[in-house]
Each structure stands twice: as structure tokens, then as C-alpha cells.
Chains A and B, each alone.
Chain A
């Protein structure tokens, strides 16, 4: 599997999910912020997919089984807390991963060096909302805890080695857990203790095994492009 495809699909799919928020955010500032994050991710996806082939062919003409994104990023938005929980888990992971890639020497060094600045902002955005929601009202506390719990089982997959990425995955897992624990506890919430990526989920997304909502997501995403074979847009 191509590492560029894995990282590109993560960014593409999460960008799409965040794009679904447009016009539905709880406050205008979040319309701007969520769209901004979605755009950053889409920009990353376009660079990464272009390393593999034609970005539009890859985005619009692959079937569900050929996508290599993490199951985490394809999860439906749910409420704002659910979206923030997903953002926290992924953006901390992406920040740590891209920091390492930016410091190393590979085909991803330049991309990661640029993207890590964007991702640092995504992480900051997620962490501040975790604090506000966790330590806000009883309702927001409960909703965010529910979001963190529901998505926890998808987090193990982030540390499955990706071929072509020279990363100490065990160390990444440790740094990620430390960072998540720190912010979740400061937000007066608990780090979930359920199973993470059991037999079914371990590495599943990377092998093209996805959850059911993903098929509908790409059906919507690809419909127009597929309706006009060979057309330019």
C-alpha cells in the first residue's frame, strides 16, 4: 500500500466530513474554523494524492474497497462534541506524525513541514474546544464524554504501521496517549478504557475495510463526477 494514498485518503475523507458542517455550525466563528480546517486537509489530500496519480481519478473513481483512510475519519459528524472528539483524536495524531515526517528525510518531508503548521492549528482548535465542552456545562461535559467514548475504539488503527513511513509507531502511540490524557483530564473528562481496535478494526481502513456510513459518503461525493465520464470541470 502506498503511504501517500493512506495519508491522502485520511485528509480527503476528514475534509469531506467537515465540509458537511457548512451552514450548520453552532456559531459563525465555527463556520469559518471548520471550513478552514476542511480546506487545509483538502489541500494536503490533493498534494498527497498527486504523488500517487491523478487526484480526481483517485478521489472520484475508486470504489469503497480501494480507499485506504482510517475508519476514524470516515465516522459521521454526529453532534458538535462528536466532531470535536474526532478532531482531537486525529489532529493530535496527525500533528505528532507530521512533526516526525518533517524532521526526517523522505518524500513527505516538504509536505509535512508545510502541513504541520496547519495541523498545529487544528490541534489547538480541537484542544480548546475539548476544554470548553469538558469544563463547560453538565450537558456539554456529558456530550463530549459520549463522543470520546464512542470514537475510542477507532483510535488503535492510527498506530498500525504504514509501509513506507519510517516512524516508531509504538513511540507515537505513547506520545499520543500522553497528549490525549493531558488535555482530556484538564477538561475534567476521563480517558475511555474500552478496547481500541479489536480484531476486526485493527488496520482495517488501511486495507480498504470500512464502516457502513462510508459507502454512502463516497456515493454522494462521487455521483456527479461519475455521471459525466471523461468530462472536465
Chain B
């Protein structure tokens, strides 16, 4: 980004009438209006670039931090089949993080820079991952509700105006849908299992329902970035619209699961053709965002430790690559590439 934007800034300041800039803005606006994709080499407003970097970084960080609550159960998964499914899912999440950091890098930032900001607490990740996984059923609730909410949020992003982000989301959404079905099936098995298993499933849904609704962000009248993101077609629907859509999808699914949603205010509204639902505890949401949720400290500490304890490994790989530039064989079989 540095080279490109410096060049653009130089051109802009060199043009006292700013006509070139105005022309670029007009061309950009026309592209967005025509639903064309903006690509990395295209000119874009700095605020658009910054907004995308913020959102994509937060999305990538969420995949990486989101590995933790589920990885918490890998070593305790109650059957080998479930263990394999869970390992594959956590692996997919690391892969999603990689896609998203790569997509963000097309905007001129780097994975290292973004991770540094995450570790320093200067960029966020989804509030949902600050809740603990206390039982095996939480793995199912995360699949059904958390991945379900993520999909509701992310499917419209497949039509996002920024090409690399939209393309990453197409790949990610396919895998997320798969995870969501697996989570649903896990809960269904528990719900139809022993009384203890049913109770475990109900307890997990009770704890994950409201935090999942918070994943759609603050209400529309309090959402700082929404209007501009929608104008730029980064977002296609408002937070409240997506939240409503999610509730309407979940209600019949909960019935099919034989599990109750923990909201006495939840009922079908014939006039609206949608469900009414109770008030979200926005104070809790704000507290979690501020770092005061149940696991904020633990999540960030584990991430920082993994990064710091891995520094010597990354240094070794870099030193080896510098010593053996011609051989390159190790480079060509980077494990991530071989398995992607």
C-alpha cells in the first residue's frame, strides 16, 4: 500500500484543482453503483480502504481467536467421529484466517502488522469468542448458533464490493455451512439422547443464544460504521435486519431440535410476518467489547503466548530460507500449501 498510496497522495497534492481526484472518486462511485468489483489495483478512497482493513482484520482475528473455545474440547471429545469433525473444523478456521489475512494484504497491510495490532488490543475480534465452552454441548451450540449467525452475516459479504473479500467469503461460507449443519446434528443427538445429554444441550443453548444475537453488532441507531459501509456496498443489510433474519431462521430449528430458546418475549408477529423477541442486554455487550467479558483476558493471553513462544521457530525458518535461497525446496513444500 505504501508505494501506491504515497504515489496517489503525491498526485493529488500535485493537482491543485483536484480534478483528477474528483474523476477517480466519480469512477469509484460509478463502479460501486454498477455493482462492479473493486480490485486491489483500482483506485479507492482511503476511508474505504481503511474501513475494509478494519473489517477484514477483525474477521480474520475472529477466526483465529475462535479456534480457542472449540479447541478447548478437542482432547475431550466423547467419540472418535466427533473428535475428527472438531479437529477438521478448527483446522478450517485456521485456513479461513489465512484466506482473510491474505485478502487483507491486498489492501497493502501485512499479516504480521495485523497480528501485532490484535496482540496489542488495537484491533478487535468477535465478542462471541469471549464466552467459555463449559460443556461438550457448547461445541454444538457454537456450530448451530455462532456459525449460523456468522453465515447470516457473511452470505451477503459474498457480494461485497471489494473483490478479494467477496471471493474469500464464497469459499468460507461453503465450509461454514457445513460446520453449522454438524453443530446442529451434534445438538440433535444430545437432545434425543439421555436426560443428562438433553439437559446439557438445553443449558448450552441457554448460554449461547443471547451472545449469538449480539454477533450482529449494535442496533442500527447506534452502529458507527453501518451507513457508510452500506453506501460502499461492503455491507448489504443492516445489523437489525440480519439479526431479525437469524431469529426467524432459528425458531423453527429450535423446535425441530426439541430445545427452547431462552426468551420469554419470543413470539410470532402475524402483522410483521416476523418474530418479536426480547431486549438484548447491550450493557453486557459493551462490557465484553471493552475487554470485560468472561474470557477476554484468557483468549488474548493465549494468542500472545502462542505468538511469542513461536518467535524462535519463525526466526529459524527465516534464517534457513536466507541461508538456502537457491534450494528453495523447503519453501515449495510449506506445510500450509501442501494441505490447503
Interface residues of A (CB under 8 A from B): 12, 16, 19-20, 22-33, 35-36, 38-39, 42-43, 45-46, 49, 55-56, 59-60, 79-80, 121, 124-125, 128, 131-133, 135-137, 139-140, 143, 220-221, 223-225, 228, 230-233
Contacts and interface: CB of A to CB of B under 8 A. Distances in A.
A135 B91 contact: no
A38 B310 CA distance: 20
Contacts of B311: 26
B306 interface: yes
B310 A26 contact: yes
A32 B312 contact: no
Contacts of A36: 91, 335, 339
Interface residues of B, number: 61
Contacts of B302: 23-24
Contacts of A135: 320, 323-324
B1 interface: no
* Among B64, B67, B97, B190, residue most surrounded by chain A Cβ atoms (within 10 Å): B67
A33 B90 CA distance: 12
15 contacts: A19-B87, A22-B71, A22-B87, A25-B306, A28-B64, A28-B97, A28-B111, A32-B339, A42-B84, A43-B84, A79-B309, A80-B310, A140-B313, A224-B78, A228-B197
B212 to A, nearest CB: 21
Nearest to A143: B312
A20 B317 CA distance: 22
B330 interface: yes
A33 to B, nearest CB: 3
B9 interface: no
Given A22-B67, A125-B338, A232-B189, A27 B310 contact: yes
Given A32-B94, A220-B75, A221-B75, A56 B310 contact: no
Given A26-B314, A140-B315, A231 B197 contact: yes
Given A22-B87, A23-B71, A233 B315 contact: no
A77 to B, nearest CB: 12
Interface in B293-340: 302, 305-307, 309-321, 323-324, 329-330, 333-340
Given A31-B91, A125-B338, A223-B76, A136 B64 contact: no
A32 to B, nearest CB: 5
A197 to B, nearest CB: 27
A119 to B, nearest CB: 13
B100 to A, nearest CB: 11
A140 B302 CA distance: 22
Contact of A26 (B79, B84, B90, B306): B306
Contact of B79 (A30, A79, A225): A225
Majority SS at the chain A contact face: helix
B193 interface: yes
Interface of B: 64, 67-68, 71, 74-84, 87-88, 90-91, 94-95, 97-98, 101, 111, 136, 189-190, 193-194, 196-197, 302, 305-307, 309-321, 323-324, 329-330, 333-340
Contacts of A26: 306-307, 309-311, 313-314
B334 A29 contact: yes
B95 A32 contact: yes
A54 to B, nearest CB: 10
Contact of A60 (B78, B98, B312, B314): B78
Nearest to B324: A135
Nearest to B85: A39
B315 A137 contact: yes
A232 B193 contact: yes
Nearest to A59: B80
B82 A233 contact: yes
Contact of A23 (B101, B306, B336): B306
A220 B76 contact: yes
B74 A19 contact: yes
Given A131-B330, A143-B312, A224-B78, A32 B340 contact: yes
A136 B315 contact: yes
A56 B189 CA distance: 16
Given A125-B333, A228-B78, 18 more contacts: A24-B302, A29-B334, A29-B337, A31-B90, A35-B91, A46-B84, A55-B80, A80-B313, A124-B338, A132-B321, A135-B323, A136-B315, A137-B316, A137-B319, A228-B194, A230-B194, A231-B193, A233-B190
Nearest to A36: B339
A43 B85 CA distance: 11
A228 B91 contact: no
Contact of A128 (B79, B323, B333): B333
A78 to B, nearest CB: 12
Contact of B75 (A20, A27, A131, A225): A20
A188 to B, nearest CB: 10
B306 A56 contact: no
Q: What 4 A-B pairs come out closest when comparing CB atoms?
A: A26-B310, A136-B316, A29-B336, A33-B335
